[in-house]
A and B are shown apart, each in its own frame.
Chain A
Amino acid sequence: MATTVPKIKFREPQIEMAHGAGGKASRRLVEGLFVPLLFEPASGPLGDAAHIQINGTRIAMTTDAFVVNPLRFPGGSIGDLAINGTVNDLAVSGARAEAIVITFVLEAGLPTDILEDEVRAIANAAVQAGVRIAGGDTKVVEHGKADRMYITTTGIGRLIPGVTISPQSVKPGDRILLSGPIGDHGVTILLARGELDLEAEVKSDTRSVLPMVESTVRAAGSGIRWMRDPTRGGVATSLNELARDCGLGIVLREDCVPVRDAVRGACELLGLDPLHIANEGQFLAVVARDQSDAALAALRATPGGAEARMIGEVREQPAETVLAATSYGGSRVVDMLVGDPLPRIC
């Protein structure tokens, strides 16, 4: 029996923060170490959730880890991220979350009232999102580890009929929808850390995108080729992954990408690009051209989707590249970052 020896391409001597940032370094780690060792060669591109066949039924399954500092921030907390993030991963894979199991890794010395706040947040978020908590686990580690609290989740869900996500089905001419303004979450966290001494009326956009996904599917399900929630690494990373997975090019219309004023102001001050900043309550969808207007209209009519925009389209060339075009004819490549976006002064 012939066995193929998995080829490890990840050669870096140690793990850096960049490996968790969702950008190029993360990709290298996943594609160079995890994929060769853990996945069967023919698995195809990795998505937000896995769709597995058990006893003739397909279910969706996803897992996620939540590591955020500070634990509470304007707009939500780690508990909200845990539930909404899991529901969203399932939603953009075309599934409705049914149940979530949660693990808490708690740092010894964590005040119980903080833990209780998070458990309440999780309970509320689960009710809002229409998902039940089916179980969980707890570990406690020594003081100094676990940054007060880490949460991991595993969610399972039922496939939403009428939509099949496949990057290979993306075609030139397809259009790209974005559910709402970008950059809110990442900028909120950056400011909430307090190191930059900036005040702004920004808050995290953490929420379940399932209602918006469902109404988009109802309006244009057969035309939806691909969806993703642009979390760490932002819209730029998600679209770059798509471009590579489908082998086509993407052109964004810069002035169509919605960004709130305060987020824009913070990004200009710090030299950050909103396209690289994490979101926790938005999703991207690639929709066939002739159904894209219906999809956008449905999205905008859904509570929470009023600010949805069509932000670009798929093209044959330049292949595997994301471009942002200005309204005066200039364009630039929008690449994935190596690690987290860093403020700059130059």
Chain B
Amino acid sequence: MCLAIPGKIVEFDLQNPQLAMVDVVGVRRKVDLGLLQDDPLQAGDWVLIHVGFAMSKISEADAADQMRTLAILGEKEAAMEEVRGYGLENESSPGGTRGFVS
């Protein structure tokens, strides 16, 4: 159910554009892109592969964003604790239903 690995689209199958050769650190496999037919895909895009099918296009921006957040983990909290210590209650976390909040 859960084993899915990121791979890079190398080239599309000329006879069948729903298939593409995807590379995972030098290992290549034909992957079916049928589940991503609503998304525009091009060579060089990264996709998440599960049982030979691409499940999702990987957002490099979100990945970078996440790394930035992880790098400062704890620092913002510490800063916020200081702020709370001043009794300033207007620091509102925008809630979590639209994605993760640092």
A residues with CB within 8 A of B: 196-201, 261-262, 264-266, 268-269, 271, 344-346
From residue B54, how far is it (CB to closest CB) to chain A in Å?
13
Known A345-B50, A345-B51: A268·B5 in contact at CB below 8 Å? yes
Question: Residue B79 at the A interface, CB < 8 A?
Answer: no
- Do A345 and B1 form a contact, CB below 8 Å, given A265-B24, A269-B24? yes
B72 located at the interface, meaning its Cβ lies under 8 Å from any Cβ of chain A in the complex: no
Q: Which candidate, B25-33, B38-46, B61-69, B82-90, is the interface stretch facing chain A?
A: B25-33
Query: Is the Cβ of B3 less than 8 Å from the Cβ of A261?
Result: no
- Is B2 on the interface with A (CB-CB < 8 A)? yes
Residues of A within 8 A of B24 (CB): 265-266, 268-269
Q: Count CB-based A-B contacts (< 8 Å).
A: 42
Q: How large is the interface on B (under 10, 10 to 19, 20 to 34, 35 or more residues)?
A: 10 to 19
CB distance from A329 to the nearest CB of B (A): 17
- 27 residue pairs from A and B, CB less than 8 Å apart: A196-B29, A197-B29, A197-B30, A197-B52, A198-B27, A198-B29, A199-B29, A200-B27, A200-B28, A201-B26, A261-B25, A261-B26, A262-B25, A262-B26, A262-B27, A265-B24, A265-B26, A266-B24, A266-B27, A268-B24, A269-B27, A345-B1, A345-B3, A345-B50, A346-B1, A346-B2, A346-B3
Interface residues in B1-56 (C-beta closer than 8 Å to A) = 1-3, 5, 24-30, 49-52
The chain B residue with its CB closest to the CB of A261 is: B25
CB-contact partner of A198 in B25, B28, B51, under 8 A? B28
Determine chain A's interface SS by DSSP, over half rule: mixed
Closest chain-B Cβ to A26's Cβ sits at a distance in Å of: 27
| Cβ contacts under 8 Å, A200 to chain B | 26-28
Rounded to whole angstroms, the CA-CA distance of A1 and B3 in the bound complex is 62
Known: A200-B27, A262-B26. 17 other contacts (CB 8 A): A199-B27, A199-B29, A261-B25, A261-B26, A262-B25, A264-B25, A265-B25, A266-B24, A269-B24, A269-B29, A269-B49, A271-B3, A344-B3, A345-B3, A345-B50, A346-B1, A346-B3
CA distance A264 to B1 in the complex (A): 21
Max chain A C-beta neighbours (<10 A), residue from B3, B49, B52? B3
Chain B residues near A268: list those with CB within 8 A.
5, 24
Cα distance, A265 to B30, chains bound together (Å): 15
Q: How far is the CB of A195 from chain B (nearest CB, A)?
A: 12
Chain A residue numbers with a CB within 8 Å of B28 are 198-200
What are the residues of chain B within 8 A of A197 when measuring CB–CB? 29-30, 52
The interface residues of chain B lying within 8 Å CB-to-CB of A265 are 24-27
Contact residues in A for B2 (Cβ distance below 8 Å)? 346
Shortest distance in angstroms between A74's beta carbon and chain B's nearest beta carbon?
Answer: 13
Chain A hits for B5, CB < 8 A = 268-269
